[in-house]
Chains A and B, each alone.
Chain A
C-alpha cells in the first residue's frame, strides 16, 4: 500500500498581522492550531457539518498557507478523530471545484457527505484512489491530472485544478508540531532566523541542542538560494515514498 505523507504549510498571516509560525514560535514548538483557519474554511465547515478542523493536504505543499512546509507521517492521527475527502472541501463549498452532482450549494453538501472518509480509513481509501486514477504516486504528488475520470467527472473537468483531486485530511484537535514530523522545509533566511533565536540568552540548552540536531540531520531543511520550499518539499515527499516502497 502506498502511504502519502500529510503536509501542512504554515506562516500565513491572520488578523493579528503576524505569521502563524515565525522563527520564535517554531522553536517554541507551537502546536498547529485549529483556530488558524480562514473565514471561508469556517463557512465550509458549517455548511458541510465538518466541525472545527485542522487542515492537511496529502502530499501537496500548498503555497497559499505559508512558506514553512511541515511534512508528517501518513499515519499521524488526532485524539478526537477527523475525516478526509479526495478534494478540498473549501474549494467545493465555494464552487471552485466542478463535478456532476455538485452544481449548487445543496448538492455540494450531499457530494461532500458521500465522499467523507473517517481518519483511520483514509490511507486505505487514498491507496485505492491512486491505484484507480493515477499512473503512479509521483504524478499525484506533482499535482498532475488523473489518467482517467471518476463517475462525477471531477478529476478531468477542464476548469478544475489540483485541489479537485488532492486528499484533504482534517483533524479536530490542535496538533503538537513535532508529533509525527518527518521533515520541514523552509527558506534559508527562515533557517538563519531560527538559528539566531536559538542563540538568544535564556534558551535552554536541551531545546537548542534538539533543534540543532534537527537542522543537522535534515529534519529541518533549508532550500537552496531563491528556490521554493513547496517544490523542494514535494520532491522530498516523492523520495520518501519511494524509500518506503523500495
Chain B
C-alpha cells in the first residue's frame, strides 16, 4: 500500500446535494501505483480509466486542481445555490479561502481540510446563517415580507451545516427561528417539531416550544420587542456581525 505522501486528491465521493453543503471522503490518485482510490477507512481501488467514467456517471466529483493528501483530510463542498442564494440574500462564505471554485458546474466552493477544521468552518457558517435569520426575523412586519423568505432560506442552509455539526444550541436556535417564521407565513409548525425529535428529547422539545411561544409574544408586543432588540444590540460582548462578504 502506498503512503499518504504518494497520494494526491483528485475528487470526492458522490455528487453534491443541490442547494446544500457537506463533507465527503476524498478520492486519491496514487503516484506509486497509478491507481485512484476512494480511501476513507478502507481503500478501494479504481482503475484509472474508470475514474473519468465515474465522474460522468455521478459516482465521483472531479476537483478543479489536484491537492496533496493530508492526514484525515476531507472535502468540504458547497453548491452554487448554497453559496449564492437568490433574492439578495447574504453570502456567508469567503470564497477567497476556497481551494477550488467551479463556476461552470453546480458546485461552486470546494476545500480540502483536516476533518476538525472542516467541522469548525461548518459551525461558523451555521452560526452566521442563524444570526442572519434571527436578525431578519426581528425586522419582519408582515406575512409576505421578503425578509421572511430570507429567514427560512438561511435556516435551511444552516441545517445542511448542522447535519455535520453536533451543536444542540445552534440546532435549538434554528428550530425556534424556523418555527416562528413558518407561523408568520401561516404555515403549520407541527412538522418542524416532529422533525426536531430527531435531535432533541421530549423535555427539550417542550422547552423549545415554550421559547417559540415567548418569541411570538415578544413580537406581538412592540415595546418588549423593541426592548429585546436594544438589549441585544447594546450588549458589549456581542457586536453586530458583518455577514456580507465580497466574493
Instruction: Please list the residues of chain A having a beta carbon within 8 angstroms of any beta carbon in chain B.
Output: 11-14, 19, 22-23, 38, 63-67, 142, 161, 187-193, 195-196, 198-199, 201, 203, 205, 208-209, 212, 215-216, 222, 225-228, 230-231
Chain B contacts with A in 6-45, Cβ cutoff 8 A: 13-25, 38, 40-42, 44-45
User: Measured between alpha carbons, how far is A23 from B21 in the docked complex, in Å?
Assistant: 14
SS class of chain B's interface: helix, strand, loop or mixed? mixed
Contact A67 B197 (CB under 8 A): no
Contact A225 B195 (CB under 8 A): no
The yes or no answer to B54 lying at the interface (CB within 8 A) is yes
Chain B contacts with A in 46-90, Cβ cutoff 8 A: 50, 54, 56-59, 74-75
**Which A residues are CB-close (under 8 A) to B163?**
188-189, 191-192, 222
Contact B198 A212 (CB under 8 A): yes
User: Measured between alpha carbons, how far is A67 from B15 in the docked complex, in Å?
Assistant: 8
Q: With A13-B58, A193-B17 given, is the CB distance from A225 to B191 under 8 Å? A: no
A-B contact number at CB 8 A = 119
8 pairs of A and B residues whose beta carbons are closest in the complex: A189-B22, A13-B58, A226-B74, A67-B14, A192-B163, A228-B40, A188-B163, A226-B23
Contact A189 B17 (CB under 8 A): yes
Selected from A13, A195, A228, the residue in CB contact (under 8 A) with B41 is A228
Contact A216 B25 (CB under 8 A): no
User: Measured between alpha carbons, how far is A22 from B56 in the docked complex, in Å?
Assistant: 17
Contact B74 A67 (CB under 8 A): no
The yes or no answer to B240 lying at the interface (CB within 8 A) is no
The yes or no answer to B96 lying at the interface (CB within 8 A) is no
User: Measured between alpha carbons, how far is A208 from B14 in the docked complex, in Å?
Assistant: 26
**Which A residues are CB-close (under 8 A) to B58?**
11-13, 19, 66
**Which B residues are CB-close (under 8 A) to A161?**
45
Contact B194 A208 (CB under 8 A): yes
**Which A residues are CB-close (under 8 A) to B38?**
63, 228, 230
Instruction: Please list the residues of chain B having a beta carbon within 8 angstroms of any beta carbon in chain A.
Output: 13-25, 38, 40-42, 44-45, 50, 54, 56-59, 74-75, 115, 118-119, 156, 159-160, 162-164, 187-188, 190-192, 194-195, 197-198
Contact A196 B25 (CB under 8 A): no
User: Measured between alpha carbons, how far is A230 from B50 in the docked complex, in Å?
Assistant: 18
Q: Apart from A12-B57, A63-B38, A191-B163, what are 19 other A-B pairs with CB-CB below 8 Å?
A: A11-B14, A63-B13, A66-B14, A67-B15, A161-B45, A187-B14, A188-B22, A189-B22, A193-B18, A196-B159, A198-B195, A201-B187, A209-B194, A225-B118, A226-B115, A227-B25, A228-B13, A228-B38, A231-B41
**Which A residues are CB-close (under 8 A) to B191?**
198-199, 203, 205, 208
Contact A192 B20 (CB under 8 A): yes
Contact B160 A192 (CB under 8 A): yes
